[in-house]
Amino acid sequence: MKNFKSNKLGIILSIILMIITVITVGIILYINVLPVKYLIALIIILLGFAAFVSVYQFKRRQKSKKLNVITGIGILMISILLIYFVNTFNFLNLVTRSGYKIQNYSVIVLKDSRYEKIQDISGEKLGYLENGDEGSKLALENITKEVTTTQIAKSDVISLSDDLFSNDLQAIMIENSYKEILNEEIENFSNNTKVIYEFSVKIKVDENSKGVGSITEEPFNVYISGIDTYGDISSVSRSDVNIVVTVNPNTHQVLLTNIPRDYYVTIPGTSGNKDKLTHAGIYGIDKSIGAVEDILDININYYVKVNFTSLEEIVDALGGIIVYSEYSFTSYIDNYYFQEGYNNMNGSQALAFSRERKSFAEGDIMRGRNQQAVIEAIIRKASSPSIIYKYNSLLNSLNGKFQTNMTSDEILELIKFQLNKNPTWNVTSITLNGVGSSEYTYTAGNQRLSVLIPDESTISNAKSLIKAVFDGKVLESSYGEVTSPSNPIKNIVTESNTNEKEEVKKEEKVENDVVNSVLQNEVIENNTVDNNITNEIINDVINDIDNNETIDNTVIDNDISNDVENEIENVGNSITNQV
């Protein structure tokens, strides 16, 4: 009692220290995230320090400012450690608990209509997409609670749009992924329509993984699905990033196989119907996985689903990454200038780099390779010893920003594996290729869309390399040693270069329209060509009249035919040159 009165503060501090230490040790043992050699060493250090300080505090008859400071510092350090492990515990409990998907719906009307809110379409015809999806049924029930309409089912999203513009329907209800398709495929769709009601439905999903026996001893495949949205990762959307990560933990080999978003594939559960791979994401992650498994003839053991927000925040939490760029270019998104070679990137820059395709002749193929380079940079940074200092911020950034069907035990095994062996991963990147075409798709119905017909030789090569990784072979790395990284510069946007980009977009659209027309055996209609021909013929006729000459219809017809043939030949040469 006398010692307590004399050293009251020191004894209170030592009691707090012991309590925090016991709680921390308990959490560490419960989570079991550390390899045994680190676990034993850490527990001995924590309990030993707390016992040593407490014994001295209780024995002292007078307070010691120096010892109290040491005790306070010990409390602070162990509290920080406790926060780290509590965050790990919370992260592991939340990250795999998806169990549902969110579908976001919009009710759309013509822009010049009198409808401004959902109640305004009472008694009117409301079109919706009938695809047997549970979300569509729930969405219709939601609408029925708000307003009474005549609900009319359509088989595809293009038919919905056509009937809206022809006034056969006064409003349409579509999931927002389909709305983005209409914005891409129907000229000025967004400018000529307006949204009068938005809502979301939540749907339970079954996630059955094909996990391996031991994730640190057996090779496995992970499907990375990158959806084209910000915000809630549970939202359904198109899968613009489709990368298979093949991992052999024994050889520390990682193979990244990129599959272009426009790959023309069969979507499981649609009676053999084909569509763009990106559209499979609209119907659920399981459809994307099934399509990828069919392409590569493999089992996808796990999946990881991310979006724009995920990438930005993960990269920033890592303290930035160093990414290899095959070319020097300025991104259309945010106008960042990236130099050929390695570049230091923050989250915003990494996202712009990953989304860019207009700057490259190979378009989406090159975008896929850039996305692989970003993944390689994340793997390199996340597996470096320095990441321990950013551990807390990294977990906070990941919380709620991605979904996976890996169990918490499997994630823990991977963390312990990396901490214990600290391997350097060898990363190899490949991409599937194909031939551009215009084909009917399951999603768009009777309207052809631009797709990529798979190149079987690149698929065969991917299958061989995946098997080689599973067999324990180490492949040649696609990335060299990081040297002299550059810092991306954000170019100033001026009216001239903005207009230049708009002109490029217009040219691309005209070129695509011409190519699609040729592919569909349709007649190429070019207003500029028609006007030039018409003006030339009229001038010839006027000159003939002025000269009192007889107008020969046969000659005029021949002139038109010759001019049309010349113009078509010129367009064909232009297309060839562009390709």
**What percentage of the chain carries pLDDT values higher than 90?**
46
Mean pLDDT over each residue of the chain, to the nearest integer: 82
Measured distance CA(335)–CA(120) in Å, rounded: 42
Measured distance CA(465)–CA(246) in Å, rounded: 10
| pLDDT band at residue 407 under the 50/70/90 scheme | confident
pTM as predicted = 0.74
Q: Between 56 and 508, whose confidence is greater?
A: 56
The pLDDT, as a whole number, for residue 207 is 65
In the chain, DSSP finds a helix count (H) and a strand count (E) of 18, 20
The pLDDT, as a whole number, for residue 450 is 92
CA-based nearest residue to 442, from 282, 258, 294:
282
| Average pLDDT for 174-196 | 91
pLDDT at 495 over 90: no
DSSP element (H, E) containing 52? helix 36-59
Measure the CA dihedral 70/74/80/82, to 10°: -170
| Average pLDDT for 335-354 | 94
Both tokens assigned to 472: 């324990």
Antiparallel, parallel or unpaired: β 220-227 and 150-154: unpaired
In order, the DSSP letters of 240-306 are EEEEEEEEETTTTEEEEEE--TTBEEEPTTSTT-EEEHHHHGGG-HHHHHHHHHHHHT----EEEEE
- Alpha-carbon separation of residue 358 from 67, 277, 397, 505 (angstroms): 64, 20, 30, 9
DSSP, res 49 = H
The pLDDT, as a whole number, for residue 552 is 43
pLDDT at 394 over 50: yes
Q: Is the dihedral of CA 418, 421, 424, 428 positive or negative?
A: negative
- Alpha-carbon separation of residue 546 from 533, 540, 541, 554, 555 (angstroms): 20, 10, 9, 19, 17
Distance in Å from the first CA to the final CA of the chain: 91
CA-based nearest residue to 102, from 175, 202, 206:
202
Question: For 248, what's the count of Cα atoms within 13 Å in the CB-facing half-sphere?
Answer: 19
DSSP element (H, E) containing 382? helix 364-382
Burial 177-204 (b: 16+ CB within 10 A, else e): bbbbbbeebbeebeeebbebbebbbebe
Burial 24-54 (b: 16+ CB within 10 A, else e): bbebbeebebbbeeebeeebeebeebbeebb
| pLDDT band at residue 518 under the 50/70/90 scheme | very low
Measured distance CA(333)–CA(302) in Å, rounded: 31
Task: Give the list of residues 6+ apart from residue 511 with CB closer than 8 angstroms, or none.
Answer: 574, 575, 578
